[in-house]
Amino acid sequence: MNSSPAVSMIIIMIVTATICFIVSELTRNYSQVDKLWSLMPLVYGIITLAYFPSPRVWIMLALISVWGLRLSYNFSRKGGYNRLPWRGEEDYRWQVMRNNPALSGRFRFGLFNLFFISYYQHFLIFLFSSPLILAAQNSKSSLNIIDIAAAVSMLLFVIIETISDNQLFRFHKIKKGLIPSDGQYSGSVKKGFMSEGLFRFVRHPNFASEQAIWISFYFFGVAASGKWINWTISGPVLLVLLFAGSSELTERISSGKYPAYSDYKKEVPRFIPKI
């Protein structure tokens, strides 16, 4: 952890988290971290490459770039970015959290924003990007079969995430009457929520893919260090826990809005498809 990339990454993480906290409190738009979720790993990758331009780090940075640019595009087309950086669509779940009695009030939600939204989420991004540090610390380690498996797996789940995001985006366009449906997703539109395409296999194929992407990324650290279990595993583990809680909130909202969602939950797994 005392290598130069790690120190630089931690400094940038703290500074960026602080800026996100200040901006979100001033604007009352709490999706400032959301805007940077797909960009910070790319920043960390560039920092690592500047110190240790090894073949493994180049591959990791290339994969992060593919993931990050695609996710940024998806976030942008949903209105997440604005010409004024502090504006843009806020995740509807933050409003739900603000209405939670346990978090109501400027002071209590401000603490939640400080410790969870701003600092914890940035710390989590740093953690699931941390295999870059192991790759830097073991820069002389040769590429091996684990690197190949990690790269192929990561690309596969980026593709799956792309397909599911595109399906969900098109569904919402059809649901809002912005594009003609031609009968596509008619069953989902009738129910009010997406249950077709990849969503007939799992309730959140995009969330599942995001977790799988960073689990795959963890194995670059395994390939570099030769240690199957190392400290960077905390990143994907905490990411899985975050998505478990996030999807629980999302589904609680959906269940309250759509009567058929309860049956959908019973029939379709959350993240892992039935075999």
Encode 54-92: b = buried (16+ Cβ within 10 Å), e = exposed: bebbebbbebbeebbebbbebbeeeebbeeeebebebbe
Contacts for 154 with CB less than 8 Å, ≥ 6 apart? 63, 67, 213, 216, 217
Query: 2 falls in which pLDDT band (50, 70, 90)?
Result: very low
Q: What is the pLDDT of residues 80-117, one digit of tens each?
A: 999 998 999 999 999 999 999 999 899 999 999 999 99
Q: For tokens 């959908």, what's the residue?
A: 264
Q: What is the pLDDT of residues 28-55, one digit of tens each?
A: 999 999 999 999 999 999 999 999 999 9
Whole-number Cα distances in Å, 69 to 31, 37, 228, 243? 18, 11, 29, 21
pLDDT greater than 90 at residue 190: yes
Q: Of 92, 104, 130, nearest to 234 (Cα)? A: 130
Cut 0.85: pTM above it: yes
Question: Considering the chain, what percentage of its residues have pLDDT values greater than 90?
Answer: 94
Question: Considering the chain, what percentage of its residues have pLDDT values greater than 70?
Answer: 99
Query: 1 falls in which pLDDT band (50, 70, 90)?
Result: very low
Q: Determine the Cα–Cα distance for residues 227 and 134; give it in Å rounded to an integer.
A: 10
